[in-house]
Amino acid sequence: MTKLSVNLNKVALLRNARRSGSPDIAQAARLCIAAGAHGLTLHPRPDERHAKPVDVEMVAELLRSEPTIELNVEGNPLHTLLPIVRRVRPTQCTLVPDDAGARTSDHGWDLERDGERLRPVVAELKEQRIRVSLFIEAGSCDLEIARDIGADRVELYTEAYAAAYDTANSATVFERYADTARRAQALGLGVNAGHDLSLENLGKFCTIPGIEEVSIGHALIGDALMLGLGGAVLAYLARLPQ
């Protein structure tokens, strides 16, 4: 079974455009849980342009009464991530190599270069019983390093898969992801996936055996606007005097 973790960052981004606190992150979290999501993801970046540390703490507190729902906190441990993670102790921490000002995650780790810097971070997180996942690219040659520094899982960065989907190159790119997943699993690593997965391309991707979790935010929140916008208009019309 592949689990769905909903990334709430874009809800936070919309909220941050006003001072009203709306849309409410806690309400969004509860709606996702009620709909059957297996987990919630937040990626608090140093510039706090979307999810903030206080959001992570609030969702962690909310999930204390939802023991079957996992909290996944993403970020670069070489920046501001670790103090937040130490406070909330999420189920999973996904380590990504984002630059401090990155617009979005756009590459996986180079573990030949960064593996030794990550080793003590991974060890600390695991001492706190936090599952550790490392963000990597399909075709990575660093899977053995990921295992050797103690990672539990890798998360496949799926932007290239999404970009190639339904193009002449799609089969070749898909097989690169499938091969990377197989190699990771053979080493005892769990396999997650995320970034630009959508309603259109998710089903095909999940034919790769053994994908444990997909973390989806941008496309899912965008679809929520489209799938729910008509209903919102009708609700507002119903409030108007006839």
Structure tokens at 135: 């963000």
Provide the CA 131 distance to its chain's centre, in angstroms: 14
- Whether cis (ω within 30° of 0) applies to the bond prior to 209 is no
Give CA–CA dist 160/138, Å, rounded.
8
CA dist list (Å): 203 to 11, 102, 181, 207, 208: 24, 29, 16, 7, 10
In the set 43, 70, 137, 155, the catalytic residue is 43
How many of the other CB atoms lie within 10 Å of CB of 140?
Answer: 21
In the set 50, 70, 137, 195, the catalytic residue is 195
Active site residue 57: no
Active site residue 218: no
In the set 70, 74, 137, 155, the catalytic residue is 74
Residue by residue, DSSP assigns 140-187 as -S-HHHHHHTT-SEEEEE-HHHHHHTTSTTHHHHHHHHHHHHHHHHHT
Active site residue 43: yes
Structure tokens at 46: 């140093």
**Residues recognised as catalytic:** 43, 74, 195
